[in-house]
Amino acid sequence: MLFQHPDYEHETVLFGQDPGSGLKAIIAVHNRRRGPAIGGCRMMAYPDESSALTDVLRLSKGMTYKCAIGDIPFGGGKAVIIGDPASQKTPELLHAMGDLVNQLGGRYITSFDSGTTLEDVAIIGERTAHVGGIQPGAGNASASTAYGVLVCMREAARLRLGADSLAGLTVAIQGVGNVGSRLAELLAKDGAKLKLADVASELAQTVAAKTGGETVPIDKIMTTSCDILAPCALGGVLSAASVPELSCRVVCGGANNQLVDNSIADQLLDEEIFYCPDYLANAGGIIDLHYQLKEPSRDDLKNHLDGLAHTLQECNSFSQSHNCSMAVAADQIAEARFR
């Protein structure tokens, strides 16, 4: 089944189970040309094993592109544990996962993802040294993700709107959780006007009060009139149906997999909406992890995050010179860095 899988182009796929703890897991190492594969460990009650396999194959490939576009010396990997994190996650299961990660001898470095926490990764780390994100004194990766989005947004505003700064521009943020709330605070400092929405309406109100923004109903945030739209909640929000409804000139946000597929980026181009590729905008989190693993100064981290603006310029130039969308441009630039 694996060899015929349409998403299979990987270096290694490791299946593991431990009847004692109930662990059933898959680790996928997509590409290590730039360095060891890195990516979180997701735990989810998948409807069947083939959805878990598809998920881990796609997510690990996405990590290869993200590490390459973020210019860090890592390749793409990901792990999935098949099971309900609320009822099936135990220290024994996490230890068994640590043993599985360890079998790869450092070819894959794990961290947290949906369904796992920093504490879980620390338990996995009791069995393997190949974990990231739990170093003492490490910063919060979400802060770096938010800062990376801000860097890209400033550059997108310069390229598309001819704006020297974000002051006075209206930014609409869908989702004010870890990334969105921090982004709102940074934007407020830059003098942007904020429109905020979250399914957790009290959270949206709290962030609005802190940043001087206004709240918008969740079913209006994607279509509200603004200069920049920042999806920071869910994937798949940019589709053939939603793009014509947008009322912005730039899309730049932290959410993963914002486009239903790459053809949507062509549609954005046709609508003259500047799209910052999502895995470039949100690469700050994985860049942060790199600096946690290598323990240099936070100044190096900031310089690296500031460099995302240069990569966005590169994507923009490539898109113009090759007459392609920003999504294709980012993929081509990333591929040239890891193939």
- Binding interface with ligand NAD (CB under 6 A): 141-142, 145, 174-180, 197-200, 203, 218, 232-235, 254-256, 282, 285
15-20 — which CB contacts under 8 Å span 24+ positions? 16/96, 16/97, 16/100, 16/103, 18/93, 18/96, 18/99, 18/100, 20/92, 20/96
| Residue 26 or 204 having the CB closest to ligand NAD | 204
Contact 37, 75 (CB under 8 A): yes
| Residue 48 or 202 having the CB closest to ligand NAD | 202
Facing residues of 193 across strands?
170
In the complex, the smallest distance separating the C-beta of residue 321 from ligand NAD, rounded to whole angstroms, is: 29
Distance CA 143, CA 178 (A): 8
| Residue 116 or 282 having the CB closest to ligand NAD | 282
Give the number of other Cβ atoms within 10 Å of residue 208's Cβ: 20
Facing residues of 15 across strands?
26
Q: What is the DSSP letter of 281?
A: H
Sorted by sequence, the CB contacts under 8 Å of residue 99 that are 6+ apart come out as: 18, 127, 128
How remote is the C-alpha of 14 from its chain's centroid?
23
| Residue 289 or 329 having the CB closest to ligand NAD | 289
In the complex, the smallest distance separating the C-beta of residue 325 from ligand NAD, rounded to whole angstroms, is: 21
Q: What is the dihedral of CA 212, 217, 223, 229, to 10 degrees?
A: 40
In the complex, the smallest distance separating the C-beta of residue 296 from ligand NAD, rounded to whole angstroms, is: 19
Give the active site residue among 78, 89, 193, 195.
78
In the complex, the smallest distance separating the C-beta of residue 181 from ligand NAD, rounded to whole angstroms, is: 8
Q: What is the dihedral of CA 156, 158, 162, 168, to 10 degrees?
A: 90
In the complex, the smallest distance separating the C-beta of residue 175 from ligand NAD, rounded to whole angstroms, is: 3
Catalytic residue flag (residue 78): yes
| Residue 168 or 235 having the CB closest to ligand NAD | 235
Where do the DSSP E strands lie in 32-143? Answer: 37-44, 75-82, 108-112
| Residue 78 or 95 having the CB closest to ligand NAD | 78
Nearest residue to ligand NAD, using CB? Answer: 177
Q: Which two tokens stand for residue 314?
A: 């590169």
In the complex, the smallest distance separating the C-beta of residue 147 from ligand NAD, rounded to whole angstroms, is: 10
Active site residues: 78
